[in-house]
Chains A and B, each alone.
Chain A
Amino acid sequence: MRPFEYERAADVGGAVARVAGRPDAVFLAGGTNLLDHMKLGIASPGLLVDVTGLSLDTIEFLPGGGVRIGALVRNSDLAADPVIRRRYPMLSQALLAGASGQLRNMATTGGNLLQRTRCPYFQDLSTPCNKREPGSGCSAIDGHHRDHAVLGASASCVAVNPSDMAVALCALEAVVQVHGLGGAHSIPVEELYRLPGDEPQRDTVLEHGELITAVDLPALPVAARSRYRKVRDRASYAFALVSVAVAARIERGSVRDVRIAFGGLAAKPWRARAAEQVLRGAPATGKTAVRAAEAELAAAQPLRGNAFKVKLAQGALTAVMRELTGEATP
């Protein structure tokens, strides 16, 4: 870790200007990903601007019934919030599925969105990685890639986005509030992330110095019946092989409305519109769920070592649909 300056930001505008004004400056919130990277040597900022003192740590209702989540709300507080637990249970479950109790107490909403892939080659300075060093190659494609992408990958990068929270936010059609040098603007969560293409080094569309200030959840009645299911090698404290967030309104055995997003499959949370289309209006049965998953995963391009993810995703979606159907109004 090279020496760095440390400052505490007093306001959003000041924080943005400070970081935007220095290419070697970064924001510090919970630090659970940033400090890891600094110790690994894959991030070497010269200035850390600590934003934890900014007033961005509340959860409030929006006019229209939605909810605004401050970027500095800690993951554990967000998961435990009574409104989130009642109205958006998939989000609470997604947060609780991630990391450990200690990490959830430290990590923030904004930081969770921006966490980077845990691909071991990305995190090892001695192995080629196009995301870390454009043009150096991708060690995962012919190496260990069991955890890697089956959708949306490219010849230059097959890494996966590790966030559970982002998957739920994607299914909920959340909108990210961002503050940059030009002022405030909004980005739907789904559009925040980039697929690798030829520029895997850019995870998101954010410019240097832009700060996430909040995440807005729309008023979404269907979200009250929702689930997040995470499938992983261990019962806890491991990243997803595959995960799925589902909100469904099922009446008289039919799927009236549904939202689905997958995690563990791509460099971004994967909104499963093809699956939703199959399910909307269809009988809420295992068969339909399988057809829906097949429709969504038809474009999958698995690698030699992660083809199991396709079936796993199918199984996860079917299982969650079954649970939600079991709770549905007759």
Chain B
Amino acid sequence: MTGLVRTAAIGAPVARIDGPAKVTGSAPYAFECRLDRPVYAHLVQATVARGWVTAIDVTAAQALDGVLFVLTHQDMPRLASDHDRELWVLQSGQVWYRGQVIGVAVADSIEIAREAARLVTVQYQAEPHEVRLRADSQDLYKPQTVNPALVTDTAEGDVAAALAAAPVRIDATYTTPAEYHNPIEPHTTVAIWAGAGDAEHLTMYDSNQGASRIAEQLAQVFGLNPSRVTVISPFVGGAFGSKSRAKAHQVAAALAARQAAGRPVKLALTRRQMFAGTGYRTPTIQRVQLGARADGTLTAIAHDAISQTARFKEFAEQTALGTRTMYAAPHRRMSWRPPAASTRSSSGSATSPSSTRKPACPTPPVTLPRACARERAGSAGSTATPPQGRGPRTAGWPGPASPPPPTRCIPTPAARRQPFGRSPVAGTGWRSGPPISAPGRGPC
């Protein structure tokens, strides 16, 4: 006979088990893992927004005492896959955005690597660029899908007619600025490329939101069997969405590690670099038109969003998704139009519902006769489309605290509980979801 489940931790006021490690500073983050004879990498970045590197001179940089090498696109072996153009690092002289990685200086110390990067001289053929988001841009286009794989435009009923006939009408345009995640721990990674042939193995101690996914992406980029790539994410100093996918710096570190004869290559982005290659939330221009009856019931909703994306890699932010999934009306239209701007890739969607909704529909500065936005679709007359993706399948609509767009689960190797702190205990680490992790193996 079974009784009620007795819980010990659930429901009890438990202090965080990682508390003592964090308040004494002994919880290890990626850059802090104890490794033998590391070298340090510093990125060289493009200073034009668009164009070509026509000349890049590393002579002065390489002449510094303590510099191991300086990588550029010149004489750089091809990566195996250009499936993700953001990770197509040092493969050509083409510049897609200001801040793009065009070189990596590797040296015995942070100071020497930084100075070496500074001494690299670059000449560009700059091309005209567009970095201001404008509603009248000539380059607006309709993406095939919006992030992650949703229908771009939807329409039900006759929005124009319903708006024209509505006794209460609101027509307002809102703009939101670009925003940057800027976790307090910058993006950091340590890459070790060891062995050769069958024993070749890439190991990364990396600050990320999903070690498995980073490993998958890097394996693909380098044409490695996934079993040859291990990514360990010990403690992570915040991410907010910006560390969920591999970025150029991880590829850069791995490229450097490949030449470093087995020595660990440590790379930490500077705070300034955090604004160039780690993703961001697109600025938006959103026109919201609402039609309502005198009692406040919505009869028509039109939400047309303009956001921006990069020319070399599309990320169509699902700006108006909240409206589509949460607001019922007989006549609705949502559309997305990014212009292909000269910008770094977006991939900035945050992981929390509130921030997903934030760009979608800021509260209009007018009050409808009666708040009615959250009525369930069971109310008379609604023929609206049910929510997309894998939300909870209840009759009607998700409530105000609905989950974000479809989340993913990634298979992971089993975790073993480790003591916290930086002891050299072997084990397997894994991560998925929010930044509370089991510690990784080895020196962390």
**Nearest opposing residue in chain A for B112, CB measure:** A3
B350 to chain A, nearest CB (A): 22
Give Cα distance in the complex from A41 to B47, angstroms. 15
Cα–Cα distance between A126 and B124 once the two chains are bound (Å): 13
Q: How far is the CB of B50 from chain A (nearest CB, A)?
A: 14
Instruction: Report if B114 contacts A (CB, 8 A).
Output: yes
Query: Which residues 1-32 of A have a CB within 8 angstroms of B?
Result: 1-3
Please give the distance in Å from B399's CB to the nearest CB on chain A.
35
B47 touches A2 (CB 8 A): no
Give chain A nearest CB distance to B115 CB in angstroms: 6
**Within 8 Å of chain A (Cβ to Cβ): is B179?**
no
**Interface contact B111-A1, CB-CB below 8 Å:** yes
Residue of A nearest to B47 (CB): A126
Task: Annotate B115-138 by CB proximity to A: 1 below 8 A, 0 otherwise.
Answer: 100100000000000000000000
Interface residues of B in 295-324 (CB under 8 A from A): none
The size of the chain B interface, using a CB distance under 8 A, is 5
> Please, which residues of chain B bring their CB within 8 A of the CB of A3?
115
Distance A1 CA – B47 CA, assembled complex (angstroms): 19
Bound Cα distance A41, B117 (Å): 11
Chain A's nearest CB lies how many Å from the CB of B95? 13
* Distance of A2 Cα from B111 Cα, bound (Å): 9
Task: Tell me the count of chain A residues lying within 8 A, CB to CB, of chain B.
Answer: 5
Chain A residues with CB below 8 A from B118, complex form: 41
Chain B window 250-278, contacts with chain A (Cβ cutoff 8 Å), 1 for yes, 0 for no: 00000000000000000000000000000
Which chain A residues (63-87) contact chain B, with CB distance < 8 Å? none
Query: Considering the chains assembled together, what is the distance between the CA atoms of A34 and B118 in angstroms?
Result: 18
Q: Which residues of A contact B114 (CB under 8 A)?
A: 1
| Residue interface mask B373-403, A partner, CB < 8 A = 1 | 0000000000000000000000000000000
Which residue on B lies nearest to A39, using beta carbons? B114
**In the bound complex, what is the Cα–Cα distance between A41 and B116 (angstroms)?**
12
Please give, as numbers and ranges, the residues of chain B lying within 8 Å of A1 by CB-CB distance: 111, 114-115
For B115, what are the chain A residues with a Cβ–Cβ distance below 8 Å? 1-3
Shortest Cβ distance from B270 into A: residue:
A39
Chain B, Cβ-Cβ closest to A41: B118
In the complex formed, the residue of A with least CB distance to B114 is A1
For the complex formed, measure the closest distance between the CB of B256 and the CB atoms of chain A, giving whole angstroms: 21
Expressed in whole angstroms, the Cα–Cα distance for A126 and B114 within the complex equals 16
Tell me which residues across on chain A come within 8 A of B47, comparing CB atoms: 126
Distance between Cα atoms of A3 and B112 in the complex (Å): 9
Q: How does the 8 Å CB contact mask read for A115-135 relative to B, with 1 for contact and 0 for none? A: 000000000001000000000
Q: Which residues of chain A have C-beta atoms less than 8 A from B111's C-beta?
A: 1
Across the interface, which residues of B come within 8 angstroms of A41, CB to CB? 118
The CA of A1 and the CA of B111, in the complex, are separated in Å by 7
How distant is A177 from chain B, measured CB to nearest CB, in Å? 36
Q: How far is the CB of A307 from chain B (nearest CB, A)?
A: 21
Docked CA distance A271–B111 (Å):
43
**B90-125 CB contact bits vs A (8 Å, 1 = yes)?**
000000000000000000000100110010000000
What is the CA–CA distance of A41 and B272 in the complex, to the nearest angstrom?
13
Chain A minimum-CB-distance residue to B65 = A3
CA distance A75 to B279 in the complex (A): 39
Give the distance in Å from the alpha carbon of A63 to the alpha carbon of B333 in the complex: 80
Give the shortest distance, in Å, between B45 (CB) and chain A (any CB). 9
Minimum CB–CB distance for A261 against chain B, Å: 33
Task: Tell me the chain A residues, 268-326 only, with Cβ under 8 Å from chain B.
Answer: none
> A312 vs B111: C-alpha distance in the bound complex, in angstroms?
43
Which residues of chain B have C-beta atoms less than 8 A from A2's C-beta? Answer: 115
CA distance A1 to B42 in the complex (A): 13
When A and B form their complex, which 5 residue pairs have the shortest distance between CB atoms, in order from nearest? A126-B47, A41-B118, A1-B115, A2-B115, A1-B111
7 CB contacts below 8 A, A to B, read A1-B111, A1-B114, A1-B115, A2-B115, A3-B115, A41-B118, A126-B47
